[in-house]
Amino acid sequence: MRLRTGQGKRKGDPGYGRGKVSLSLDDDVLLDEEEVTRRLLEVFGNPAYSPPTLPSVATELMALSQQADVSFDAVVELLESDAMLTGRMLRIAQSALYSGATAITSVRDAVLRFGLNTLRDIVLETCMNLRVFRADAYTDTMERLRLHSSFTGHVARIVCKHTAIEQEYAFLCGLLHDVGVAGSLIALSEGAGKKKRPDLASIWPAIDRAHAQAAGLMAKVWQLPPDVQLAIANHHQVRVDGQPHPLSATLCIADEIAHQLDVGLVAPQGAAIEGESELEAACLQSHTATDRSGPKTLALACETLAIGDRELASIRDDAEQLRGELR
């Protein structure tokens, strides 16, 4: 059974696990935040743009998860077709965030335990960790982005448990909401070539401005479900075509709670940032509003989901407990 949809490739295929995108900036451009933002969005909007490529197992599993009737054996066969991906997936499935009373030792165990939608989320998380949240020039920032994205996905699920919102795509939206940051850092890292890569202090404000739109464009290229595309592209404004979007509202709240619990995109004051001078690190850490939604947007998100102070406190308590299990 082979659906071969979206941007999927198998191990050994040309371009497996790599995207072809770069952005070279000279010193004059780095002084102009508007120009850096424009060039970043120009890269993602280019018809020739190719984001980091997802293995075909991930895109095929995404397609299967949207079908009403899928056989157990078809899912197992698909997952077992990529041994490396399956091995990494099982490691995540065995982590404290997912593990239960019985051990997960095989793909069949995982399918039985989690069901198709949760398994799809674990596979996508594995792919993001292997292929997307990686840029040699910005290692520490990418690792923090990986943790923030995974945690936000889990908190989005918690938000859904306290509301009437369907959980189907909640984790996926949380996992991918800041993928535009990863795409930007990859583009800048590869565009630098043999030159010194742009320092984060210079490019951070532009990346912050562009990241939500860039994430939506990347999700479109990956042919993710339309609701996922809309939610991640609007997670700092909630409204889509003039109306509040429940998934965007869910994501907005989950993102904010992640930041409140120090699992945000910017490292806290005093934390070491690899490759940056003391002055540059202080500059980055001064961007406390990076990847944050304003009070009015958060209020609209709570109103959209009918979340009051009591529910918000319960969500935060559950998320804080989850924080202790974060890898």
- Summarize pLDDT for 105-119 with one digit per residue, the tens: 888 888 888 888 888
CB neighbours of residue 95 within 10 Å: 14
CATH T-level topology, domain 1-14+48-132: Hypothetical protein af1432 (1.10.3210)
pLDDT in tens, 195-239: 667 777 777 888 888 888 889 888 888 888 899 999 999 988 888
Neighbouring residues of 326: CB distance < 8 A, sequence distance ≥ 6: 97, 147, 150, 151, 263
Does the pLDDT of residue 57 top 50, yes or no?
Answer: yes
Domain layout of the chain by residue ranges: 1-14+48-132, 135-327
Letter for the amino acid at 42? E
Letter for the amino acid at 312? L
Does the pLDDT of residue 31 top 50, yes or no?
Answer: no
pLDDT in tens, 94-108: 887 776 657 788 888
**Secondary element (H or E) of residue 157:** helix 139-161
Does the pLDDT of residue 48 top 80, yes or no?
Answer: no
Neighbouring residues of 283: CB distance < 8 A, sequence distance ≥ 6: 201, 204
For residues 214 and 109, give the distance between their C-alpha atoms in angstroms, rounded to a whole number: 37
Does the pLDDT of residue 11 top 60, yes or no?
Answer: no
**Secondary element (H or E) of residue 211:** helix 200-221
208-225 residues labelled b (16+ CB within 10 A) or e (exposed): bbbbbbbbbbbbbbbbbb
Does the pLDDT of residue 90 top 50, yes or no?
Answer: yes
Q: Which two tokens stand for residue 134?
A: 């990686």
Residue with tokens 């974060």: 326
SS3 labels along 71-92: CHHHHHHHHHCCHHHHHHHHHH
Q: Which range, 6-15, 101-110, 151-160, is most confident?
A: 151-160
3-class state of residue 125 by DSSP: helix
Neighbouring residues of 44: CB distance < 8 A, sequence distance ≥ 6: 180, 183, 210, 213, 214, 217, 218
For residues 227 and 165, give the distance between their C-alpha atoms in angstroms, rounded to a whole number: 13
Percentage of the chain modeled with pLDDT above 90:
24
Q: Which two tokens stand for residue 131?
A: 């292929």
Backbone region of residue 296 per phi and psi (left: phi > 0; alpha: psi in -120 to 50; beta: other values): alpha
